[in-house]
Amino acid sequence: MPDGLAHVLFAYAACTALSWRYEWLTTPYRTAAMAGGLIPDISKIGVFVDAWRVRDAIGLPFSFDALETGGAAAVWVAVGALLVVPRERRRTAGALAVGATTHLLTDAMLAKPTGHSYAVAWPLTRYYFPTPGLFKSTEPGALVVALLLAVGAWLLDRRRTRAAAAER
């Protein structure tokens, strides 16, 4: 699934670049950001479980599409933050949010037949933003761009780390 790997690589590149400004964004937090890049894809569980089964089990209307929104991502970021020790929660939530945000922004650029993305900003708004239609999720182009960005960020980070070590 090139789509999932691309989301992880975009999250890594973004978090690595942010780590140059925020020193606390160390390797463990970059890893959390990479995991956060997969949060909106929790909706892919619908491939294995029918939505009507969930609807019947909980007795409420249900759609897996709702799991691929900003509101659902915020809930999963909060759940992820609760899984770490209290002193690490704020930073972990931030890293997870960076990953989830890169995922949502990347998906908002997908080519859709309607010309509009999904309700990315739900529950703030149900508006379907127009999409630039840069790529399809099945095309390898996004993965290549993500890979180039991740490798570039990794190389720049190594250069910065070596320069900082040489100054000491």
Cα–Cα dist 81/162, whole Å: 32
Tens-digit pLDDT profile for residues 95-130: 999 999 999 999 888 888 888 888 888 888 888 888
- The candidate with the shortest Cα–Cα distance to 106, out of 14, 24, 1, is 14
The average pLDDT across 139-168 equals 92
Tens-digit pLDDT profile for residues 40-90: 998 888 889 999 999 999 999 988 888 889 999 999 999 999 999 999 999
Tens-digit pLDDT profile for residues 14-27: 999 999 999 999 99
Please say if the pLDDT value at position 30 is more than 50: yes
Cα–Cα dist 46/31, whole Å: 26
- What separation, in Å, do the N-terminal and C-terminal C-alpha atoms of the chain show? 43
- The candidate with the shortest Cα–Cα distance to 13, out of 134, 157, 140, is 157
pLDDT of residue 1: 43
